[in-house]
Amino acid sequence: MDNKRSKLHELGFQVGILERGEKNSIADVPDVTVGHSTIIAGEGELKPGFGPIRTGVTIVKPHSGNIYRDKVRASSYVFNGYGKTTGLVQVEELGNIESYIGLTNTLNIPKVAESLLRFHLDENPDIGIKTSTINILVGECHDGYLNDIQGRHVQKIHVFEAIENASSDFEEGSVGAGTGMSTLGFKGGIGSSSRVIKDEEIEFVLGTLVLTNFGRKNDLTILGHNFAKYIDEGDKEDDQKEDDGSIIIVVATNAPLNTRQLKRLAKRAPLGLAKTGSYGSHGSGDVIIVFSTENKVEHDNKERTLSMTYVNENTKIFRDLLRAVVETTEEAIINSLLKATTVIGRDDNKKEAISIEKVKEILSK
């Protein structure tokens, strides 16, 4: 990992008007952590099942406790449904998340789900015996351009490693689930951003993490600057073949919100996605998952009635939460490009990291 590659705010540029969090990442939301396991092995010609391997897994932990016992209120929104996620049906029905959130490549969905299931069963041995079963949540993007995707190389050891590595200080770019991903013609991967939402009396944080794997160079737009005219003619011709792709957007906040309000936040993420050049292609899986760390749902609570406090929608706080989703989604996608490093994968396919110098030059005009 090239630690010299910068996020957008470190280059002196601002997305939107809201204040960024200290880390400018989803981990600015208290107790939210992210862990990766990156798998890189082999070179040259593709031999299905053997490599080369350019893949991994990323785990988002909504809090540091037992997520099955203390679920987080959640919702989701599918902007375009060409995707293979697991667990969204129950999230929509019950309005909560009860497992860690796994991100990986398309064909590794079952293996990551099985590994997360093993972890949570070990932590909660009564699942399915003395209490209900568990809903495992995993999202994916297709990294087969750079990676031997048929090899399904993510194993339980990698998932457990990502869980163990989860931290508020996590890498972005070509790491974890983002190792083999391509975005807007360049190397993509993991990106994150955050915003502080406050008034005279109260303060909340909203953070977003993305796994990016979509779009063409001709569509790439950063802060309103379309990059098509800065791309070599030969690249533009090849770029027409690169259209479809996917993105998983995970939004977290410590603002107390009910599931209907979380759904409203989720629906704003595509606005930030569009600002970077996406139009929701036919073959794009654009999935948004949103949760609040407040008002946790206690698994063992048997009280007949429950009460909760949530943000009044007729306030600037709620309006700024909506704005924050748009701003953080846009910036997280840009950060996934800026933090990514060049990767050469199967059959010597290559995705170049975007030039930090070129971005600075264009945005300064």
Q: Which of 28, 148, 286, 320 is catalytic?
A: 286
Judge whether 119 and 157 are in contact, CB under 8 Å: no
For this structure, is 194 an active site residue? Answer: no
Please confirm, yes or no, whether 286 is among the known catalytic residues: yes
The residue from 37, 115, 182, 246 that is catalytic is: 246
284 is catalytic: yes
Q: In angstroms, what is the C-alpha Rg of the chain?
A: 20
Q: Which of 99, 192, 284, 336 is catalytic?
A: 284
Collect all residues with Cβ–Cβ distance below 8 Å to 312 and sequence separation of at least 6.
318
How many angstroms separate the CA atoms of 27 and 5, rounded?
A: 19
Q: How far is CA 342 from CA 59, 93, 104, 241, in A?
A: 23, 41, 19, 20
**Is the separation of the CB atoms in 150 and 256 below 8 Å?**
no
Contact 95, 259 (CB under 8 A): yes
Q: Known catalytic residues?
A: 246, 284, 286
